[in-house]
Structures are given as C-alpha cells and as structure tokens.
C-alpha cells in the first residue's frame, strides 16, 4: 500500500458552513464547482481543518485542462487571516466535486507551492448517497510493482471525520435549536440512525461487489492491498454456523422480550390500581353526598311537625 503523510483528517463545522455558503453564493443551481483554501494545523499525522476561505476560480467545461485561480487574492487573504490567527496555516484546498476531476492533480501541484503535502477535501453540498459527504485525499507517487509503467501522481483516500471543540459544539447546538424536531422521541431517532447505517452499509457492500466483478472481468487491475483489506473484513465477521452465536442471539432477544413483558405487566397493574382508586373515590363521594342530604333534611322535620299541631 502506498504510504501517506497523514493518518487522519478532521473537518470542523466552520469549514462545512463556509463551503456551503460559498456554493450557495456562487454556483447554486448550476453544474459549476467552487474552490477554496483550507486553513488549520498538522500534528503527528493528524490534520485539523479549522477554517477556510473562498478563492476566485473558473474552468472550461469543454476542456478540463483550462482553468484559472487567482493567486494574488489567495496570498492577500491568507496574509489577513494570519494576522487574526497565526497558528492557522494553509493545509490544502477544497472543492464541491462531487468527485475527482482531471485537473485536480494540476491544481493540487499549485497548492504544493504554499504548503508541504497539501490535502484535498471534496465536500458534496448535494449528497445523493448515505454517509459522510466529505472525502479527503492526498497526492502520492505510485509505482507499479511489475515495472510496466512509469511512476505517476495519484490521489489516495484518507480517513476523514467531522470533529469539533467544546466551543464549536456549543455553537452548533445553538444553530440547530430551531432545526431539530422537539417532538421526536429518542427511540425514533435511534431507529432512524440504525436505518441510515444499514443503508450506508448496503451501499458500501454494493461498491465492493462492483469492484470485485470488474476485477474478475478484467476491467480493473488486481490490487493486492485492497484484497488484503477485504480478507481482513471477512475474517472479523462472526461465524454464523456456530451454535454459540445462535444461543447468544436468542438469549439477547429473550432478555429484551422479558423486559417488554415485565413493563407491560407493570403498566397493566398500575392501570388497574388507578381504576380501583377512581371507583373508591366515586363511592366515597356518593356516601358523603347522601349524608349531607340527610343532614340538610333533619332540621326541617320538627318545624313541619309544629306547624301541623298549630293547625
């Protein structure tokens, strides 16, 4: 496998918001993509993209090799950003894809003059598939093991995740206070998350199937590192034919059903108890009402008897 300089790329919320805002201002409802500069820090193989800014960019749709990027604007903006936060440096660039293009290697070579080993982050502002809409790449030198081709620069996918500091998490929660549905329960949110995860897993398995089919048919070359990774994944899968797994699954299902059964019994007992309390309260109210009626009627009886004697 080709060695990379970075082990992990962390995209912060401010970068995502800036990229979406840049796209909505410049290329909304078009097929164009927008390009910008990523700012952040590198530390022990971890790259944190904490900030970004847009850069004027144009390209010819008919000829991908013709493109323009404003160098002077880039340098002036970075000079102003450096006055605000000197720790943030240029770590790479971004575009809204949604996939790699032929001119990306040339643009990447341009950004290599501003920083060592720049990273390319593709942000899908209109994702069509499940999963994280952010992908990070690094350019490396690839050499064929059989020596049939010359070395060439290629993009290698890097592990990517979205992270935030404590202050950023508070800001995101404040922004999402009007977006989240307060009526949605926790259980429904968990179920939605599980469904989304299963759909993403199905999409990834379909991609693996397409790749293996292309290798068998000879449309793609055999890559031993990818096959080794797939073999590791298959090795980690549990043995479905063993009795211990079936017993463990049945025990887990029985425990869950037992909890549901006990909860149903408790609810039934509480409902019955409430019904009995209401019935007792109604009966007690009727008795007190009868006593009050008798007490009101007793003083009138002697007065009625005296009137009858006078007559």
Domain boundaries, the chain: 8-180, 248-297
Instruction: Classify 79 as helix, strand or coil.
Output: helix
Kindly calculate the radius of gyration of the chain based on its CA atoms and give it in whole angstroms. 35
Q: Average pLDDT in the 233-258 region?
A: 80
Does the domain made of 8-180 have the CATH classification 3.30.450.20?
Answer: no
Q: Does 1 score more than 50 pLDDT?
A: no
Longest CA–CA span in the chain (Å) reads 137
Q: Using alpha carbons only, what angle is made at residue 187 by residues 133 and 131, rounded to the nearest 5 degrees?
A: 10
What's the rounded Cα separation, in Å, for the pair 37 and 135? Answer: 15
C-alpha pair distances (Å), 290 with each of 23, 150, 286, 297: 78, 106, 6, 11
Least confident stretch, 30-44, 241-255, 265-279: 241-255
HSE-up of residue 299 (Cα within 13 Å, Cβ side) = 4
> Do residues 137 and 122 touch, judged by C-beta distance below 8 A?
yes
Q: What's the pLDDT score for residue 36?
A: 95
Is the entire prediction scored with pTM above 0.85?
Answer: no
Q: Average pLDDT in the 67-91 region?
A: 92
Least confident stretch, 31-40, 139-148, 203-212, 225-234: 139-148
Least confident stretch, 29-38, 75-84, 169-178, 251-260: 169-178
Q: Average pLDDT in the 130-148 region?
A: 78
Partners of 54 in the β-ladder? 36
Q: What's the pLDDT score for residue 154?
A: 86
Q: Average pLDDT in the 40-55 region?
A: 91
What's the rounded Cα separation, in Å, for the pair 4 and 154? Answer: 11
Which secondary structure element, helix H or strand E, spans residue 270, and what is its range?
helix 243-297
Q: Average pLDDT in the 222-238 region?
A: 84
226 — pLDDT class (breaks 50, 70, 90): confident
Q: Per the structure block, which two tokens stand in for 105? A: 């290697």
Q: Which residue, among 25, 8, 20, 14, has the nearest Cα to 124 in the 3D structure?
A: 20
């Amino acid at each position: 496998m080709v060695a990379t300089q970075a082990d992990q790329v962390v995209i912060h919320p401010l970068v995502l918001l800036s990229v979406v805002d840049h796209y909505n201002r410049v290329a909304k409802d078009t097929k164009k993509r927008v390009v910008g500069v990523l700012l952040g820090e590198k530390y022990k193989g971890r790259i944190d993209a904490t900030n970004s800014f847009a850069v004027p960019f144009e390209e010819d749709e008919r000829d991908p090799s013709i493109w323009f990027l404003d160098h002077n604007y880039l340098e002036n903006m970075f000079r102003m950003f450096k006055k605000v936060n000197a720790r943030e440096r240029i770590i790479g660039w971004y575009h809204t894809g949604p996939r790699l293009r032929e001119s990306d290697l040339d643009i990447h070579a341009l950004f290599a003059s501003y920083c060592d080993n720049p990273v390319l982050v593709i942000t899908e502002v209109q994702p069509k598939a499940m999963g994280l809409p952010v992908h990070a790449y690094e350019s490396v030198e690839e050499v064929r093991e059989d020596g049939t081709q010359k070395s060439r620069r290629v993009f290698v996918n890097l592990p990517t995740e979205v992270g935030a500091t404590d202050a950023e998490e508070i800001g995101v929660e404040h922004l999402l206070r009007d977006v989240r549905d307060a009526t949605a329960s926790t259980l429904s949110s968990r179920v939605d998350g599980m469904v989304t995860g299963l759909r993403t897993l199905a999409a990834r398995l379909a991609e693996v199937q397409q790749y293996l089919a292309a290798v068998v048919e000879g449309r793609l070359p055999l890559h031993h590192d990818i096959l080794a990774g797939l073999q590791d994944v298959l090795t980690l899968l549990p043995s479905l034919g063993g009795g211990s797994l079936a017993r463990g699954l049945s025990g887990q299902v029985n425990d869950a059903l037992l909890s549901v059964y006990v909860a149903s019994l408790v609810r039934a007992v509480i409902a019955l108890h409430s019904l009995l309390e209401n019935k007792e309260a109604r009966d007690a109210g009727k008795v007190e009402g009868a006593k009050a009626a008798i007490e009101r009627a007793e003083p009138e009886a002697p007065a009625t008897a005296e009137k009858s004697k006078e007559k």
